[in-house]
């Protein structure tokens, strides 16, 4: 569970290649030591149920045929580098949708297409941050936000999203963390890992916090259309006409095309005051030339063609039914509690500390992998101060879920018994 550091270890040769010091505090546990151990076990012939990554294609979800046809049909026209911000038609479609959703001033000139939202998270933070700056990031978070903030010399200041409040943040608590060094407020709704979908009034209050303190709003809405029951996705940009708002979206989740690496960020709101920031983004985008061109051809059909995700998130749909199976399994459990996810493709169960005193999420995840061949991500990988949660994806078949939770119950049960004996 160690990451490489620059510190000289006993017995370490003088000639080892150095590692950048700025990586010392950078973490991305979703693909960390546990995932590497799972690969080793697989190489030894063990079948591992991998529930650590929200990778729809790995669970039999197909990218819709009209998106595939667009990529294949345009392959011959994709040999050259494209514009650093992305194909014009794709950017027009993204900006048009943002405007239709109420994002003031969204324009193709201020849209950047990237190799997934991942690349754009780093690029947009790099264009903003100086050493010692601060970024407000949810806790739990999608850990790339914290990692990228750290990598860019700044400090992620985590605002708590309490399980008791359905993992929805309290805007007053967020505002109390603002300092003169705060530059941006990151909002992830629908949320990974908690599945929270923030209500309109919470989003509006967060937008007001950003306006009062002149913060850049960074709205990670990659799960925008993945909502369950009566949960409603509200675009943050529609509530933030007077601050610079960056809205991130992409094809990875809603369109099940993770491997194609297509994401975008669209600027809206106080764009007039962001001329230099926009230029900085363009410089950084130019330095990586352009993003993957063939896959960009899927953006127009994805945004303007048939919506395909609703069938999966409605009763009878695969995501809906797996979510129901996870909720039911947690209700049956002697040890687990769950805030039912209202959006996205994850569940974030907690282990009752009274039933399992001293429960440690990393030790649990390792034991679950070694003894029961199930790979999950410990909650501490999502920058929370507590150690009694874990994240699983809602992507497996519903039938698989009951069996996985029996294995989880066995491991937690044996941890509970060993604690009582100790």
Residues of this chain that bind ligand PLP (CB under 6 A): 54, 116-118, 142, 188, 192, 220, 222, 250, 252, 258, 263
> In this complex, which beta carbon is closest to ligand PLP, that of residue 219 or of residue 326?
219
Strands lying side by side in the sheet with 377-378 = 346-347, 390-393, 377-378
Shortest spacing between CB 167 and ligand PLP, in angstroms: 13
- The nearest distance, CB 120 to ligand PLP, in angstroms, is 8
What whole-number distance in Å separates Cα of residue 25 and Cα of residue 18?
16
Question: Which is nearer to ligand PLP, 32 or 54 (by Cβ)?
Answer: 54
Q: How far apart are CA 348 and CA 391, in angstroms?
A: 5
- Quick one: 142 or 359, whose CB is closer to ligand PLP? 142
Residue 127 or 222 with smaller CB distance to ligand PLP: 222
Two structure tokens written together for 372: 């029961």
Which residues, 6 or more positions from 162, have their beta carbon under 8 angstroms from its beta carbon? 170
CB 246 within 8 A of CB 125: no
Residue 2 structure tokens: 């160690």
Bridge partners for 375 per DSSP: 50
Q: How far is the CB of 258 from ligand PLP (least distance, A)?
A: 5
- Please state, in angstroms and rounded to a whole number, the distance separating the CA atoms of residues 117 and 124: 10
Nearest distance from residue 27's CB to ligand PLP, in Å? 15
Nearer to ligand PLP by Cβ, of 344 and 351: the residue is 344
Nearest approach, Cβ of residue 144 and ligand PLP (Å): 6
**Which regions of 74-153 does DSSP assign to beta strands (E)?**
111-114, 134-139
Tell me, rounded to whole angstroms, the distance of Cα 190 from its chain centroid.
9
Cα–Cα distance measured from residue 61 to residue 249, given in angstroms and rounded to the nearest whole number: 19
Q: Which is nearer to ligand PLP, 123 or 404 (CB)?
A: 123
Nearer to ligand PLP, 54 or 378 (CB): 54
Q: How far is CA 20 from CA 88, 125, 140, 153, in A?
A: 37, 19, 27, 12
CB of 137 to ligand PLP, least distance (A): 11
Q: How far is CA 201 from CA 168, 186, 204, 218, 236, in A?
A: 11, 17, 5, 17, 11
Least distance CB 252 / ligand PLP (angstroms): 3
User: Nearer Cβ to ligand PLP, position 264 or 320?
Assistant: 264
CB of 222: closest distance to ligand PLP in angstroms? 4
- Say which DSSP state 122 is in: H
Residue 182 Cα distances to 246, 254, 331, angstroms: 16, 32, 40
The residue whose two tokens read 């809602």 is: 394
Closest distance of CB 263 from ligand PLP, Å: 4
Comparison of 128 and 147: residue with beta carbon closer to ligand PLP: 147
Nearest CB to ligand PLP, comparing residues 192 and 202: 192
CA atoms within 13 Å, Cβ hemisphere of 87: 19
Residues facing residue 218 across a β-bridge: 186, 246
CA–CA gap between residue 185 and residue 201 (Å, rounded): 16
Least spacing, CB of residue 410 vs ligand PLP, in Å: 29
Would you say the C-alpha torsion 175, 181, 187, 188 has a positive or negative sign? negative
């Amino acid at each position: 569970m160690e990451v490489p550091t620059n510190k000289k270890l006993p017995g370490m040769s003088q000639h080892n290649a150095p590692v950048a010091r700025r990586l010392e505090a950078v973490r991305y546990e979703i693909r960390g030591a546990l995932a590497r151990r799972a690969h080793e076990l697989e190489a030894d012939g063990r079948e591992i149920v991998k529930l650590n990554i929200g990778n729809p294609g790995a669970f039999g979800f197909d990218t819709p045929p009209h998106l595939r046809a667009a990529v294949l049909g345009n392959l011959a026209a994709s040999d050259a580098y494209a514009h650093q911000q992305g194909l014009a038609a794709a950017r027009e479609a993204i900006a048009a949708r943002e405007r239709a959703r109420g994002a003031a001033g969204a324009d193709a000139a201020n849209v950047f297409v990237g190799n997934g939202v991942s690349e754009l998270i780093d690029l947009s933070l790099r264009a903003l941050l100086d050493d010692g700056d601060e970024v407000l990031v949810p806790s739990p978070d999608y850990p790339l936000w914290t990692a990228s903030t750290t990598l860019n010399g700044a400090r992620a200041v985590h605002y708590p999203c309490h399980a008791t409040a359905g993992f929805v943040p309290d805007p007053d608590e967020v505002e109390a963390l603002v300092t003169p060094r705060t530059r941006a407020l990151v909002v992830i709704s629908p949320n990974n890992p908690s599945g929270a979908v923030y209500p309109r009034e919470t989003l509006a209050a967060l937008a007001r916090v950003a306006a009062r303190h002149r913060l850049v709003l960074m709205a990670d809405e990659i799960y925008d259309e993945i909502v369950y029951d009566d949960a409603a996705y509200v675009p943050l940009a529609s509530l933030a006409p007077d601050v610079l708002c960056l809205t991130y979206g992409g094809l990875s989740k809603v369109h099940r095309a993770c491997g194609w690496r297509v994401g975008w960020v669209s600027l809206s709101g106080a764009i007039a005051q962001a001329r230099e920031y926009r230029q900085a983004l363009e410089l950084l985008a130019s330095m990586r030339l352009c993003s993957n061109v063939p896959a960009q051809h899927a953006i127009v059909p994805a945004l303007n063609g048939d919506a395909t995700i609703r069938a999966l998130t409605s009763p009878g749909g695969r995501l809906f039914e797996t979510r129901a199976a996870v909720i039911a399994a947690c209700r049956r459990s002697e040890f687990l509690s769950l805030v039912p996810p209202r959006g996205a493709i994850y569940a974030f169960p907690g282990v009752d500390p009274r039933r399992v005193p001293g429960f440690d999420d990393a030790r649990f995840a390792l034991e679950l992998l070694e003894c029961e061949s199930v790979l999950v991500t410990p909650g501490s990988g999502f920058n929370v101060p507590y150690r009694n949660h874990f994240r699983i994806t809602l992507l497996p078949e519903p039938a698989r879920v009951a069996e996985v939770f029996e294995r989880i119950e066995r491991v937690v049960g044996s941890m509970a018994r060993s604690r009582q004996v100790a």
